[in-house]
Every structure is written in C-alpha cells, then in structure tokens.
Amino acid sequence: MYKFLKVERSGPVAVVTVNKPDVLNILDTPTVLEIEHCFGALASDREVSVVIITGAGEKAFIAGGDIKEMSVKNSIDGREYGRNGQRALFAIENCPKPVVAAVNGYALGGGTELAMACDIILASEKAVFGQPEVKLGITPGFAGTQRMPRIVGRGRGKELVFSGRNIKADEALRIGLANRVYPPEKLMEEALKLASQIAANGQLAVRSCKELINFAMDNDQDSGLAKEADAFGVCFDTQDQKEGMKAFGEKRQAKFEGI
C-alpha cells in the first residue's frame, strides 16, 4: 500500500517502519504524505490499540529532512514543505492510539521532530538526537521550536535549537527527551513489551488519557480539570469500567472490549 513505509501487525500493536535505509530514512515530501495518510488510517482502525514507529536499518531512525529537495525551494515552497511535515506529525500526535517511537540511530532535524510528536520515546544506546537546522541557515520546520521547549524546558530547548548540536541517548534520557534507553538488540523487544502492556488496558480509558494530557499541554489547569472530570464520569457508562472493576474484585486479568 505504501512505497516508503512498512506496516506490520503484532496482535493489537501496529509497527510502522520508515523503509528507506539506503538514504537513512530521510523525510522527503512523498514520505511525509505517506506518514500523514498512514496515521490517519491507523487512527480509525479498530484492530489497532498501540502504534510503534521506527526506521529501517541499523544507522538511522530518520536522519532528517531531504536537504536536496529543500535546497531548490523558495519561500512559498519552503512554507508548503513545512506545513506538510507539520500535518504529518500532528497526525501522529493527534492519533487517538498511543504512539511509541523506537529510535534506533540518527534522529536529526525532522527525525527528532517526528519522535517528539510521539507519546513515548524509547532510544537505542546508539541513538543521536538533534535540531541542526540552523547550521543550514534555516529554522526547524516540523514544529521543533514548539515541541522541544515543551518537552525539555525553555532553556534546554533554546540551547539545543540555537546551537544545532547533537546529543547522544544518555543525554536525551537525562534531560527528559527520551523515556528509556536500551541496547540496540533489545530496543524493539522492549518497545513491543511496552506496547503490549498498554494494549492490555482499557483502551477507551487510555485514549481518553492521551487526549487529556495533550489538552493539558496547551491549556490552563482549571480547563484541564473540568475536562478530566467529564472524561472520568463518562468512563462509568462503559462496559470496560464494569469489567475492570469486576476483574479487580475477582483477582483476575480484565478482558476489555473497548465498549
């Protein structure tokens, strides 16, 4: 179905692989448009509870945008390229299912931006993150200036964006950019383990939690508390809530059906 992506299923977990290892999985326009379409489709797929995204090969998650493509653009074309990337990453961020980035190598520019659009970042010990755009005379264009300071704080975010320096996995973990770091051979195993843990929970509740946390990032606490109270109340009209609490009382694993 896709030329530059590979989508595989492992039960309720979908694994999306950016499959261009010969060019380090760079984000040219066709790839970005495929990502937008793919996550739009996964958002409505009732068989999928959690998504993992990774890059093909051992060298790169996503090495960045396509510099060759960008080098001939004017301001109008550049804006369109940025908007395309932003839409694709918002499709990831706004996907109702949790999305885990399994960062297995270079995640530079658009690669770091894509990882930051995911809910959780798991990194290989060989992972390298960075926003080197200023070294090319451009700004980040796929929401890097917006998500980076929200994740690592204003000071660290400005330092990384202004300097354009790359950071290794251990520093990404220390500053809160990555959630966990694993040996390369364990990365996908651990990503699938985490995804399975998430998928075993009540999916209506998990999706609501994602919506609530995303809402909290851009709104005041009082608004967030009101929205949370509403969502909490809605849970009590679901079969998942009844099954979850019944299973707890019976000391067994709940069997959620997403209703």
For residue 248, give every residue at least 6 positions away whose Cβ sits within 8 Å of its Cβ, in sequence order, or none.
Answer: 254
Active-site entry in 80, 133, 159, 211 = 133
Active-site residue, from 113, 125, 189, 257: 113
- Tell me how far apart the alpha carbons of residues 162 and 169 are, in angstroms, rounded to a whole number: 20
Active site residue 93: no
CA distance 70 to 78: 7
107: CB partners within 8 A, 6+ apart: 60, 61, 62, 63, 114, 115, 127, 128, 129, 130
Sequence-distant (6+) residues with CB within 8 A of 240 are 202, 203, 204, 205, 254, 256, 257, 258, 259
Is beta strand 99-103 parallel, antiparallel or unpaired with respect to 106-108?
unpaired
| 133 a catalytic residue | yes
Residue 5 tokens read as 């992506």
129 φ, ψ to 5°?
A: -110, 160
User: CA 158, CA 27: separation in Å to the nearest integer?
Assistant: 24
Bridging pattern class, strands 13-18 and 50-55: parallel
First-residue to last-residue Cα distance in the chain: 30
Distance (Å, rounded) from C-alpha 217 to C-alpha 151?
10
Active site members: 113, 133
